[in-house]
């Protein structure tokens, strides 16, 4: 029992030292994934924009080529030797004119799509100005806003990272020492009572920080549930009681005093 209490104390000390990091690692991770999400929106937008530009340049080149062909055909028509030759050239001209129309409508569609995106971003900006952040979809987020956000997130990450590094530098030796002690304590308990250790671990991984608690004023020191009177004697005699309400291991407080004096 004393061994378990001691393990609990070491574990709590480690928890306290780690909590000096004040959730910084999690905060930094959240910020990083936020920045990644924003960056991928920007990248997708840029890719789409670049592809549209290439497409438009190709279409413009096609139009120019068709126009040159038309000019050539028209020149040829002035020297056509007969109607048949003239009509054949007219057909070629018509074909090229149709090609120009097709290319122009493709360019128009690209421009319309671009305009649609700009309109969405304008709508997003208006919503942001009204603080209606929840209604702004990824598509609506203004490019400028995304760039600004990424920059400020990056500087926030930098700030928190250096804060975390400072804390780690201060506490790392303490953490290492505690981890060593915990390892030794676990090895000791494992030899004597395998079951107690697995019980402890099961509760601990269930999110309970203080697994071993004091028997205080007739109740479980963890959740304050009453301990049945029939179990009081066991606890006083140095045994333990598993709290029916929370599952914690309730032991006499003298074990805690002994653990501190170890
Ligand atoms: Zn309890």
How far, rounded to the nearest angstrom, does the alpha carbon of residue 18 sit from its chain's CA centroid? Answer: 22
In terms of C-beta distances under 8 Å and separation of at least 24 residues, what long-range contacts does 39-47 make, across chains too?
A: 39/150, 41/138, 41/141, 41/146, 42/143, 42/146, 42/147, 42/150, 45/117, 45/143
Domain boundaries, the chain: 2-20+172-261, 24-161
Q: How does pLDDT run across 142-163, given as a tens digit for each residue?
A: 999 999 999 999 999 999 999 9
Distance 19 CA to ligand 1 centre (A): 24
* Helix, strand, coil percentages in the chain from 3-state DSSP, rounded to 5: 80, 5, 15
Q: How does pLDDT run across 223-262, given as a tens digit for each residue?
A: 999 999 999 998 888 888 889 998 898 999 888 876 665 5
Distance 114 CA to ligand 1 centre (A): 62
Distance 192 CA to ligand 1 centre (A): 25
Distance 20 CA to ligand 1 centre (A): 27
Distance 210 CA to ligand 1 centre (A): 10
Q: Judge if pTM exceeds 0.85.
A: no
Distance 193 CA to ligand 1 centre (A): 22
Per-residue pLDDT of the chain (262 residues), as tens digits, is: 677 888 888 888 888 888 877 788 889 999 999 999 999 999 999 999 999 999 999 999 999 999 999 999 999 999 989 999 999 999 999 999 999 999 999 999 999 999 999 999 999 999 999 998 899 999 999 999 999 999 999 999 999 999 999 988 888 888 899 999 999 888 888 888 788 888 888 888 888 888 999 998 899 999 999 999 999 998 888 888 889 998 898 999 888 876 665 5
Distance 41 CA to ligand 1 centre (A): 49
Distance 31 CA to ligand 1 centre (A): 37
Distance 12 CA to ligand 1 centre (A): 17
Distance 79 CA to ligand 1 centre (A): 105
């Amino acid at each position: 029992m004393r061994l378990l209490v001691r393990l609990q104390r070491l574990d709590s000390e480690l928890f306290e030292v780690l909590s000096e990091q004040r959730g910084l690692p999690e905060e930094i991770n959240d910020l990083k994934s936020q920045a990644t999400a924003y960056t991928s929106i920007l990248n997708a937008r840029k890719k789409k924009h670049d592809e549209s530009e290439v497409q438009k340049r190709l279409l413009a080149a096609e139009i120019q080529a068709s126009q040159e062909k038309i000019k050539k055909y028209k020149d040829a028509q002035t020297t056509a030797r007969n109607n048949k030759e003239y009509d054949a050239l007219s057909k070629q001209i018509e074909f090229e004119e149709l090609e120009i129309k097709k290319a122009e409508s493709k360019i128009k569609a690209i421009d319309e799509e671009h305009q649609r995106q700009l309109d969405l971003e304008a709508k997003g900006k208006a919503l942001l100005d009204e603080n209606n952040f929840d209604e702004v979809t990824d598509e609506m987020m203004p490019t400028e806003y995304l760039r600004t956000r990424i920059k400020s997130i990056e500087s926030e990450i930098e700030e928190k990272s250096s804060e975390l590094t400072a804390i780690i530098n201060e506490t790392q030796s303490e953490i290492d020492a505690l981890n060593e002690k915990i390892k030794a304590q676990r090895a000791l308990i494992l030899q004597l009572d395998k079951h107690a250790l697995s019980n402890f671990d099961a509760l601990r991984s269930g999110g309970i920080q203080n697994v071993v608690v004091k028997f205080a004023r007739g109740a479980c020191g963890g959740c304050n549930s009453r301990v049945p009177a029939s179990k009081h004697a066991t606890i006083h005699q140095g045994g333990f009681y598993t709290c029916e309400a929370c599952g914690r291991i309730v032991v006499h407080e003298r074990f805690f005093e002994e653990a501190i004096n170890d």
